Amino acid sequence: MNQKLTNDHKLRNLGHTLLLIGSMALLLALISELLFGEGVWPWVFAGVILAMSTLPDISPHWLLRLYQARRIYPNEAPDLIRLMEEIGRRTGVSPTPTLYWIPSSTSNAFSVGSRDDSAIALTDGLLKLLNPRELAGVLAHETSHIINHDMRLMNLADLISRLTHMLSMIGILLAFISLPLALLGMAPLPLSGLLLLIVAPTLSALLQLGLSRVREFQADLSAVRITGDPEGLASALGKIEHRHASLWQRILLPGYRDPEPSLLRTHPDTAERVRRLLELRDEAETLARPIFPGIGRNTRLPDSFHTLRSPRHRLFFRTWH
C-alpha cells in the first residue's frame, strides 16, 4: 500500500469535504441575511445544529423493512458473517453491522444507521455477482460510511440544501409580491439579491452532489485501509458497472445511466475510482494484512433466499449507497 498516496488522498478528501459543506453553509447564510437582515444567520445555524443533534435516528431495521429486506443469520451464511465480523474487528465498530439480503437481481449495497445501530444491505444480484474477495471490499466500503459518520454528514447537507431552497422560494415570492412597488420606485429590488435567490437552490444541490462524490472517494480509501486489498474493491466496482447496463445498452448507449456533466452524479466515475484504488498498490508496504485467504470462501445463501424482483423507488427515504 502506498502510504504517501493514502495520506495525500485522505487530506484531499477532508479539504474537499470542509470546502463543500462550508460553501453550502455560506449560501444559506447569505440567503438568511438577504431575507431577515444582518445578524440572523447565526440563529439559523444554531437551529440546524440543534435539529441535527436532537432528532432521533431512524432505526435501520425499520427502514430496511420498507425494502422487504431479510436479515442474514450466522447459520444461513456463516462465512459471510465471519467476513463481516473480521471487518468489524479491524474497524473497531461495535456492535458489528447487521447484514441484510434484498431480493433484487440488481447489483447494489448500502449502509444505514449509526455506529451504535447499523446495518448493511446486499442485493441478491450482488451476492451472486461478486467473489468473496470482492465482497470484502464492498463490505469494508459500506462499513467505512458508518465509521466516518457519512449518513449524518449527508443528512446535514440535505437539511441545509432544503432550507436554502425553501428560503429562496420565499424570497422569490416576496419579490414577486413587491414588484408593483419596485416599479413605482417605492421598494427598490436589488438585482444581485434576486439573482442569488434564483441560483442558490441549484448551487446548493450541486454542492451536495459534490459532497456525496467526495465521501465515496473517502469510503474507498478507508476500505483499502481495512482490507489491505485495493484490487479487490476495484474489481468489484468494475463488475458492478458492467452489470448495470444490458448488452444492447452497452453497445448502442455507452453512456447510459451516467449523467453528463459529471456534476450531476451522486457517485464518482467508476473509472476514476478504480484508477485511484490501483494507485495505492505498493509491494513494499501494507497498511493492513489482506483478509484473504482463509475467510469467506463460500458466500452462497440457502435456497430459501430465492425471490427476485426489481427494486422499488423510494421517494421519501434516502439510503447511503
Q: Of 38, 76, 86, 142, which is the active-site residue?
A: 142
- Catalytic, 142? Answer yes
Distances (CA, A) of 99 to 109, 198, 296, 301: 10, 44, 14, 12
The CA distances from residue 11 to 17, 23, 218, 221, in Å, are 10, 18, 10, 11
List the grid coordinates of 63. Answer: 427502514
CB of 20 closer than 8 Å to CB of 207: yes
Q: Which of 89-95's residues contact partners 24+ apart within 8 Å by CB, and which partners? A: 90/226, 90/288, 91/140, 91/143, 91/144, 91/147, 91/226, 92/147, 93/118, 93/143, 93/146, 93/147
Q: What is the DSSP string of 42-110?
A: HHHHHHHHHHHHHSPPPPHHHHHHTTT-EE--TTTSHHHHHHHHHHHHHHT-SSPPEEEEE-BSS--EE
In angstroms, the Cα distances linking 89 to 83, 143, 208 are 10, 11, 32
CA–CA separation, 109 vs 72, rounded Å?
Answer: 14
| Catalytic annotation, residues | 142
